[in-house]
């Protein structure tokens, strides 16, 4: 997610540098100031971030969705080569080149195939960020309405430990393919999350259980509030054991 602050070129903290060019080195002076960005800019920055992410992970997205691969750059190069071949060798030259390319592709596929005949798995995405570094994944669920939305619960729990000072708080992160390097939303809980699941009938609701026997339900549509709208925390004589499944 994008931060609400940025470095602007309209403040203090002057920095000087030299830029080389056709007319020699030119001294430039840039001033930076850490200020809060206006709320109206954040949606535009988020769109730019997603465009850059889509460009970076284009091939992974195509493989994940099982779309036919297409390299537009190579296609443009082939078109240029075809035009050149038409001028030089005509149709026979084009046919020869296509046959050679097809043979090269088949050889490449044979080289990539495992020699022992066993199936292999390729890592497409790694969902991680500084907030989740070193944390243990305790639960994962995929939204039934939007399969690209994944909720992951993080916890560092020990059934033999009862000291809250030794136990880290829980994290509930909502990941999407739009940005595998930072979740769309992070919800912090008082205790380690042990299970979480989207509602099948109302997919905008997600329930999670923690290591202290609490069950909380969050509304994903409510982007202004990270507190649960339903919780068993304050119920008298409630269940106090670890919630393993919802």
The answer to pTM > 0.75 is no
Q: How far is CA 200 from the centre of its chain?
A: 24
* Residue 50 and residue 83 share a domain: no
Query: End-to-end CA distance of the chain, in Å?
Result: 29
- Using only the alpha carbons of the chain, give its radius of gyration: 27
Residues 159 and 89 occupy one common structural domain:
no
Rounded CA-CA distance 149/20 in Å is 47
Query: Is residue 97 domain-resident?
Result: yes
More confident call, 180 vs 68: 180
Mark whether 84 and 150 lie in a shared domain.
Answer: no
Is 184 a member of any domain? yes
Rounded distance between C-alpha atoms, residue 107 and residue 121, angstroms? 21
Asked if pLDDT for residue 186 goes beyond 90, the answer is yes
Q: What is the mean pLDDT of residues 67-96?
A: 57
Residue 238 lies in a domain: no
Query: What's the pLDDT score for residue 209?
Result: 92
Nearest of 58, 68, 97, 59 to residue 80 by alpha carbon: 97
| Shared-domain flag, residues 138 and 213 | yes
Looking at the structure of the chain, the number of domains it has is 3
Range of the domain at 191: 130-231
Residue 81 lies in a domain: yes
Cα gap 160→166, rounded to integer Å: 11
Provide CB contacts within 8 A for 110, sequence distance 6+.
none
If asked whether residues 146 and 205 sit together in one domain, one would say yes
- Would you state the structure tokens that stand for residue 152, as one six-digit string? 């992951």
> Do 139 and 83 belong to one domain?
no
pLDDT tens figures, 121-172: 888 888 989 999 888 899 999 999 999 899 999 987 666 666 767 777 889 9
CB-CB neighbours of 170 under 10 Å: 28
């Amino acid at each position: 997610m994008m931060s609400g602050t940025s470095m602007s070129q309209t403040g203090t903290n002057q920095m000087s540098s030299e830029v080389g060019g056709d007319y020699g080195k030119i001294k430039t002076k840039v001033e930076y100031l850490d200020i809060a960005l206006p709320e109206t800019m954040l949606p535009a920055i988020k769109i730019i971030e997603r465009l850059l992410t889509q460009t970076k992970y284009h091939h992974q997205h195509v493989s994940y969705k099982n779309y036919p691969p297409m390299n537009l750059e190579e296609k443009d190069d082939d078109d240029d080569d075809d035009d050149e071949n038409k001028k030089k060798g005509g149709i026979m030259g084009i046919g020869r080149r296509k046959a050679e390319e097809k043979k090269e592709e088949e050889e490449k596929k044979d080289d990539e195939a495992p020699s022992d005949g066993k199936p292999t798995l390729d890592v497409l995405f790694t969902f991680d960020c500084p907030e989740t570094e070193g944390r243990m994944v305790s639960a994962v669920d995929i939204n039934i309405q939007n399969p690209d939305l994944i909720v992951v619960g993080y916890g560092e729990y020990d059934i033999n430990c009862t000291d809250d000072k030794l136990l880290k708080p829980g994290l509930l992160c909502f990941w999407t393919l739009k940005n595998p390097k930072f979740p769309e939303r992070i919800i912090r809980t008082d205790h380690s999350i042990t299970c979480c699941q989207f509602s099948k009938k109302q997919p905008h609701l997600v329930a999670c259980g923690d290591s202290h026997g609490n069950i909380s339900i969050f509304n994903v549509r409510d982007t202004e509030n990270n507190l649960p709208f339903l919780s068993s925390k304050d119920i008298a004589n409630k269940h106090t054991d670890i919630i393993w499944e919802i």
